[in-house]
Amino acid sequence: MRKIAIIGGGQAGMPVAFGLLDKGYDVSLYTNRTPEQIRAGRVMSSQCMFANALDVERRLGINLWEHECPPVEGIGFALPNPEQPDTKAIDWSGRLDRIAQATDQRIKMPIWLEEFARRGGSVIFEDVGVAELERISQEHELTILAAGKGEVVRLFERDATRSPYASPQRALALTYVHGLEPTPNYSRVSFNFIPGVGEYFVFPSLTLSGPCDIMVFEGVPNGPLDRFRDAQSPQDHFERSISFLEEFLPWEADRARHCELTDNQGYLAGSFAPTVRKPVLTLPSGNKVLGMGDAVVVNDPITGQGSNNAAKCAQVYLDQILARGAQRFDQAWMEATFEKYWDYASQVVSWTNSMLAAPTPQALALLTGAAQHPKLAHFLANAFDDPTVLYPAWDNVAEAEKLIQSTTKVFATA
Ligand SMILES: Cc1cc2nc3c(=O)[nH]c(=O)nc-3n(C[C@H](O)[C@H](O)[C@H](O)COP(=O)(O)OP(=O)(O)OC[C@H]3O[C@@H](n4cnc5c(N)ncnc54)[C@H](O)[C@@H]3O)c2cc1C
């Protein structure tokens, strides 16, 4: 039985742990928070996961909230009219072919940890640093570090060629609420882009106190949406959320008239630089550690891809470990495994990073074109499930035009 260690009980590490356990591997999962600490702690993410990522959980039998978690059925996009900010210059929505879902990680991770132990995995609660990595890597044939944004991941070297930003591009905030008015016709992620100020998106989720909505704020640093850093209390954070909507997005403020914070831990504020790191860490002893998930590819949440990437990374790593059979997990294999994931993730990173900058002509053509062409809106909505379909159009004006033409034609004959 091959001995594998996974460090980090999050969206990337846990599915690999479950998958290997299921195939008879001896899996030890090291993580630094107990189920009780996670349940009683602050929200960590907005974690909207699209169908392909949810399929990873379905295949492993860990899709435990499928029937309970409210569906996200589409994507909406709005841009306020600069001449008349209480109206929209662009407004479209498209239905997802298969629903997305966002289960609060405070629900999901504790139950996954308990379920993993129930299925026979070993869970060790330990804050892992270099000394622990040395010990763990000595005792296992493969050590995977999936510690998200934990300090320990800084041990992986930043890959400057794949990381265009050296500092945070947005001041982030989350506000979990009950009582938000639903969108008409179908539920959706409602994106609002306010050039120069930032972005706001909101969608249904499941939290500890039942169905809710998650508000995500992405403020351009030092601008009017960078307003959460010094909030004095949960209620203060909530009030700053609502006052922003009243000031900049009246249609979203209307939906929020009767809402309240889900709980005193249902909010978050912070920032980080989108970063790609080199995937293999060499410890002082010479032992190697393979990075995965946010530990090595951390995106700004603007496109809602982090949990999706984590699940997809888990599938790639799981398949590669199983395909390795009894051979050694050497550095070449580790690098090849990461590159296999990077084949997919590179375009997600590129798309996400582009959304943090001024829109390119092709992005504008696509985003404005979708308001005229429902098939294009449908295409762009479903691209959240697999952003690679946006390429080459997202990078190239002529390709974007071709895509617009093709969806227009399909629409004309549909
Ligand atoms: C504001 C915000 C909004 C987001 N919204 C979305 C969204 O809508 N859709 C989406 O797909 N993604 C979203 N994400 C991103 C998503 O949450 C992450 O990408 C995803 O959780 C990454 O999974 P991971 O397993 O790599 O890391 P995590 O889920 O963070 O897990 C890391 C694990 O490692 C453990 N750990 C950390 N340090 C140590 C240590 N030293 N020793 C032992 N254990 C350790 C932690 O306790 C945790 O269990 C959002 C993120 C943020 C910040």
Chain centroid to Cα 64, Å, comes to 19
Q: Are residues 55 and 204 in the same domain?
A: no
| Contact status, residue 215 vs residue 196, Cβ threshold 8 Å | no
Using CB distances shorter than 6 Å, the residues near ligand 1 are 7-13, 30-33, 45-49, 127-128, 146-150, 152, 172, 174, 216, 293-295, 301, 304-308, 310
3-state secondary structure of 194: strand
> N- to C-terminal Cα distance for the chain?
55
Question: How far is the centre of ligand 1, averaged over its atoms, from the C-alpha of 403 (Å)?
Answer: 34
Mutate to test the pocket of ligand 1, among 6, 7, 11, 29 (most ligand atoms within 8 A of CB): 11
249 with 134, same domain? no
Say how far residue 74 (Cα) sits from the centre of its chain: 17
- Domain total in the chain: 3
How far does residue 9's CA lie from ligand 1's centre (Å)? 9
DSSP H or E stretch at residue 222: none
Angle value at C-alpha 49, between 273 and 54, nearest 5 degrees: 130
CATH number at residue 133: 3.50.50.60
Is residue 279 a contact partner of residue 334, using CB atoms and an 8 Å limit?
Answer: yes
CA–CA distance, 84 with 66 (Å, rounded to integer):
41
How would you classify residue 129: left for phi > 0, otherwise alpha for psi between -120 and 50, otherwise beta? beta
Give 361's contacts (C-beta < 8 A, 6+ positions apart). Answer: 397
Contact by Cβ (8 Å): 303, 394: no
Residues with Cβ within 8 Å of 364's Cβ and at least 6 positions away in sequence, in order, are none
244 with 282, same domain: the answer is: no
Ligand 1 centroid to 138 CA: how many Å? 26
Residue nearest to atom 17 of ligand 1 (CA): 45
Give the three-state DSSP class for 387: helix
In terms of domains, do 186 and 321 share one? no
H-helix or E-strand spanning residue 255: helix 250-255
Distances (CA, A) of 40 to 36, 63, 103, 208, 263: 6, 22, 16, 10, 11
Q: Are residues 401 and 262 in the same domain?
A: no
Domain shared by 33 and 125, yes or no? yes
302 and 161, same structural domain?
yes
Which residue, 72, 183, 95, is CA-closest to 381? 95
SS3 180: coil
CA-closest residue to ligand 1 atom 35: 8
Mark which of 227, 249, 270 sits at the end of a domain. 270
Claim to verify: residue 156 and residue 46 sit in the same structural domain: yes
Say what the pLDDT of residue 86 is.
Answer: 86
CATH assignment of the domain containing 215: 3.30.9.40
Name which of 4, 36, 34 is nearest 18 in CA terms: 4
User: Which single residue is written with the structure tokens 């309240």?
Assistant: 260
User: What average pLDDT does the chain have?
Assistant: 97
Do 288 and 314 belong together in one domain? yes
Nearest 10 degrees: Cα torsion 6, 148, 110, 206: -140
- Angle value at C-alpha 31, between 26 and 33, nearest 5 degrees: 145
* Cis peptide preceding 392, ω within 30 of 0: yes
270, 301, 318 — which closes off a domain?
270
176 and 251 housed in the same domain? yes
Q: What ligand 1 atom has the least distance to the C-alpha of 307?
A: 11
d(CA 31, CA 44): 15
Closest ligand 1 atom to Cα of 298: 19
Same domain as 202, residue 80 = yes
pLDDT digits (tens, 9 = 90+) for 200-240: 999 999 999 999 999 999 999 999 999 999 999 999 999 99
pLDDT (0 to 100) of residue 410: 53
- Domain closes at, from 240, 270, 300: 270
Domain with 232 in it: 72-100+169-270
Which residues of the chain fall short of a pLDDT of 50? 411-414
Residue 85 is predicted with a pLDDT of 79
Cα Rg of the chain, angstroms? 21
Both 22 and 115 in a single domain?
A: yes
